[in-house]
Chain A
């Protein structure tokens, strides 16, 4: 079974509007971390935001916020006031079982976001 599911292969958003990128995950581990990365066409993965499974509040980093719904196992990324430079691939990732010293990230297949002027 897929651990991380991103159901939107591509999304369009108008400049200055907000957009939500979906991510659902599957784990039986009570302790896990969820990450979002941005990958521009240059290829580098840029860390955006992190949410821990025990965090009580939704994470926020500037224009990025994470809508974390633990019971639904979803961790959607919200980008407010979209800019042209936000056009990129966005990946949701999970790390589980770090207590067992497994630190690998499991990635979804990504969502390509295109910001229209």
Chain B
């Protein structure tokens, strides 16, 4: 399977704990994106990387959130001191990074976070 993979698929944690999610993009894809999706809503953009550089961050990404893509391959998203409002599906996507308008983002299966 050469699609985007995410681990874990499900995470249940207690409020105040730290959690870390991993995303492995499609190989050779230069851009990697993180989105958050709450129940009944469409995904909301959090941040994206061009290779290892984090080029854009949403205001949704509070100080408790940090994302890295150290070698321009896989990425991690860490949430510190989780709150119940962080409960959501966290989606990762990757794209080839072409400058054309058809730079399609392909999504992984998501990590569903539940904060108790």
- Residues from chain A with a CB closer than 8 A to the CB of B33 are 103-105
B72 at the interface (CB under 8 A from A): no
Contact B103 A103 (CB under 8 A): yes
For B46, give the chain A residue with the smallest CB separation: A104
Q: Which of A37, A42, A108 contacts B109 (CB 8 A)?
A: A42
For B55, give the chain A residue with the smallest CB separation: A101
Contacts between chains A and B (CB distance < 8 A), count: 67
Given the known inter-chain contacts A43-B89, A44-B110, A104-B48, please indicate yes or no for A50 contacting B104, CB distance below 8 A: yes
B110 CB, nearest partner CB in chain A, Å: 5
How many residues of B are in contact with the other chain, CB < 8 A? 29
| A residues adjacent to B (C-beta < 8 A) | 4, 31, 33, 35, 37, 42-47, 50, 52-54, 91, 93, 95, 98, 101-110
| B residues adjacent to A (C-beta < 8 A) | 31, 33, 35, 40-45, 48, 55-56, 58, 89, 91, 93, 95, 99, 101-110, 112
Can you list 7 A-B pairs with a CB-CB distance of less than 8 A?
A33-B101, A47-B105, A50-B104, A98-B101, A103-B48, A104-B33, A105-B35
